[in-house]
Structure 1
Amino acid sequence: MSRARNPWVLPVSLLLAILLGLVPLPGVLQPLRPYWLALVLAYWVLEAPAKVGLGAAFLLGLAADLAYGGLLGEQAMRLTILTFILERFRARLRFFPVSQQALAIGVLLFNDRVVSLAIHLVVGAVLLPWTFWIAPLVGMLLWPPLRLVLDALRLQRRG
């Protein structure tokens, strides 16, 4: 049996990540929503850097800005910064055990929240409540199963 790459997994997973960000949640659960697009993008930056880079992160961010109706360019900037850091440390992060990768992703998601807060402060937008800081923890906890699922889909065996 040979390992076949599934070219459809990358665009479908990114589209699904954008759609998961649009799913309505009750007010109580809204702060717990992980940044799905950042998680899926992080996976692809680590596993397929030739296909997903800074340009793709910027374009995905613009698409997310349009889909979510936020500040135009905010998500593009956030995802570009996240991708830049991931590309810089890709050689190390890729070979970390999944638990250490999850911690690194959690730190990156926390950094993303800091960038988002800075953008909101600069433009004078409404500041988000303290529960805004819980989502990076949820994203960190979701990293291992998400990585497992995307690995299984990307490297699906054909016999």
Structure 2
Amino acid sequence: MRAYPRWIVYVSLAIALLLGLLPLPVAIAPLRPFWIALVLAYWLIEDPDRVGLGFAFIVGLVGDLVYGGLLGEQAIRLVILAFIVQRFRARLRFFPLSQQALTLGALLLNDRIVSAGLHLALGEPTVPSAYWLSPLTGMLLWPPVFLVLDAVRLGAWRRRR
């Protein structure tokens, strides 16, 4: 039985969308993590029955609309990420947080490769080489993101009990 309300998933993803919209100085803009992917990965690991490939696709389309990118780009990127996370979920759940962070860093690097491949295939301008640093930022932010979302999810569980 799930003890937390579904709106927690939606609010956490909405916050991730807003974090992606925050303006950053030009010098550190390439370090912006893929917030939606981090939050979505958490929910894919912790509640795969509620969050799956279709959910990832819809979240990606919303991200495309909010950020004004190529329609479907984030959707396909998040579906690929969701597929890999679902495939290895059983192992990821029992990794220590440090190994989870390394794995998420690799998934975010894979996301950058998919994004670069899509841009190349569609003849769109590619992102500067500094944008390859954002998976490192996402990897470093995974432990606090995981712990905050876990505290929110488990805190909601305790209140309803």
Q: Whose relative contact order is higher, 1 or 2, with alpha carbons under 8 Å and at least 6 apart? A: 1
User: How much does 1:4 deviate?
Assistant: 4.5
Unaligned runs of 5+ in 1: none
TM-score by length of 2: 0.94
> Do the aligned residues in 2 keep the contact of 1:32 with 1:135 (CA within 8 Å)?
yes
Question: 1:46-98: per-residue Cα shift (whole Å, max 9, x none)?
Answer: 00101100000000000000000000100000000000000000001111000
Question: 1:89-140: per-residue Cα shift (whole Å, max 9, x none)?
Answer: 0001111000000000000000000000000100111111111110000000
Runs of 4+ in 1 over 3 A off after TM superposition: none
TM-score by length of 1: 0.95
Partner of 1:112: 111
Matched, 1:21 2:20: yes
Q: How large is the RMSD of aligned CA atoms in angstroms?
A: 1.3
Partner of 2:60: 61
Amino acid at match of 1:111: N
Amino acid at match of 2:9: L
Amino acid at match of 1:12: V
Unaligned runs of 5+ in 2: none
Structure 2 counterpart SS, 1:82: helix
Partner of 1:86: 85
Partner of 1:100: 99
Amino acid at match of 2:70: L
Structure 1 counterpart SS, 2:94: coil
Q: Give aligned-pair identity as a percent.
A: 63
